[in-house]
Chain A
Amino acid sequence: MAIAKAERLMNLALCLLGTRRPLTKRELRSSIEAYVESFGKGDHGGHDESFNRMFERDKDDLRELGLVIETVEGLEGDVGYLARRDSNRLPPITLDAEEAAALGLAAKIWQQARLAGAASGALQKLRAAGMPLASGDDAVDAPHSALEPRIPAHEAAFEPLMLACRDRRPVVFDYRKSNAAHPERRQVEPWILECWRGHWYLAGWDRDRNAERVFRLSRITGKVRSRQGAFTAPVPDHVTVRETVEVWAGETATGTARIRLRTGHGYPLRARALTVRELGDGWDELEIPNGRGLDAWLVEFGPDVVVLEPAELRADVIERLRAVAKG
């Protein structure tokens, strides 16, 4: 049976952490059983290419776990590797039981596999470094908010985009705008991922449009591919995904509207009304903030809402109602 990958990675990590001098690839190959078993000791030059590929992948995996692996060039041109203790050590951190409980709650909220794994891995590292068990872990009644937060990230584009944001790598993907029949290829320098109301958005620099753009992850079709090279546009200090999305969602008022609303109906409209006046005939008159998408929302209330002004909003609502009435 082939030696498990975890055992191979663990041995490579311990070798690199344990050594005081850089170890060459040949030394590592001949001293880790999993490599010897698969590729021989390398004395006769066999399997070199497949060993090299596995070795590079293994090093990358360990780096993902946080290991700082240095590549040192020797006098004779041979390359050696080591993970210095001082650059790999966690600085001292002391967390009390309350703080440990808070982090324990936070670590549970990812539903995305990679981040869920990373969160428990981080807790384990902190635990190994002395973080106490939280009182809640002992199933004793803890004086904490009875809250279970969850962050969904079902979109296939989430993980590649998170890595691209992290590593500042340009990406290419097909994107279907909300009202478009067909997706279009977009070349983007990804800046930040933001989750708002349970949906994920990406903000970045759109290379073809030469402008900042916000993308909704659920509208990305197909694979996200990385591109070589660096960002060409400067990354702003403050990125405003949420403000942009709020404008889309019509939460930024651009004026006010006057409507008539049947008594007892339309609670959300009343909740945001600037003024409410009872008309006494089974109807109230409301002044509400007007913004993008208000027409579509008002139509939802059917015959319980009548738009008075502005005229443009009134016309939009009538047009929508006509389309529905026609069927």
Chain B
Amino acid sequence: MKQFWKSMLRSPSGVIGLIILVLAISIAVFGPMLFPNSPWRMVQRPFLPPFTLSTVPLGTDALGRDVFAGMIFGARVSLLVGLVSTLVALVVGVPIGAMAGYFGGKTDDALMRFTEFFQTIPSFALAIVLVAILQPSIYSIVASIAVVSWPPVARLVRGEVLSLRTREYVQAAIVTGQSNTWIILREILPNALSPVIVLASLMVATAILLESSLAFLGLGDPNLISWGYMVGAGRTVIRQAWWITVFPGVAILISVLGLNLIGEGLNDALNPRLSREGR
């Protein structure tokens, strides 16, 4: 563990990514405490440019709502959707991949055909359809992002398990008569975890982008403000008021960039070959 942090901190991109993520999470957690007012409240005259009033530093939107407050509350929704939907995708994808890789044969065939079924449909189109059918709400958005993002996880885990399954220590465990569940959970998965972690960090970024795209198209939860919603709502007035779209757009950019940097750092730190090189 110590070594992991050491090599993580050695890669500059990982450090920058970590700083961004920590910052974003603390804004999402503590920000709303500093802004007790709902971000939907009309507080000033509409289309107030940024940096003119200290009470609304980033200006107001078409209804006179505080853009800064929207950014802070939006961080909460964007990060929450990103993390939770990735978690759900892992919970679905890891067992399916592990079972397919470990048992092989017909189980593998069945599970992989099922996975491919999802992979044949363009993920964003499927997410739109799912949200539209289920009615936009935070739950349907998390669910549909999870549904479209678990197949790569399953395929990755399957590949790892396939190669690990033939190792001697796994063979030994089978010979000593340990149960399949035990072998998968204790012997195989821990060793297959590093690429999954790297993938997961990138999935959070993708999920944030997906949520933003859905909200941009008007398929966000109408009761929650998110960065994508702010960009979508401000898009039509971009010629009158650039700041409504630019600030949340930049927020999306930075957080997605941060997560990608973390993914890179993780990859450096967790890849044994690369990290040995550094030492």
Do A and B share a complex?
Answer: no
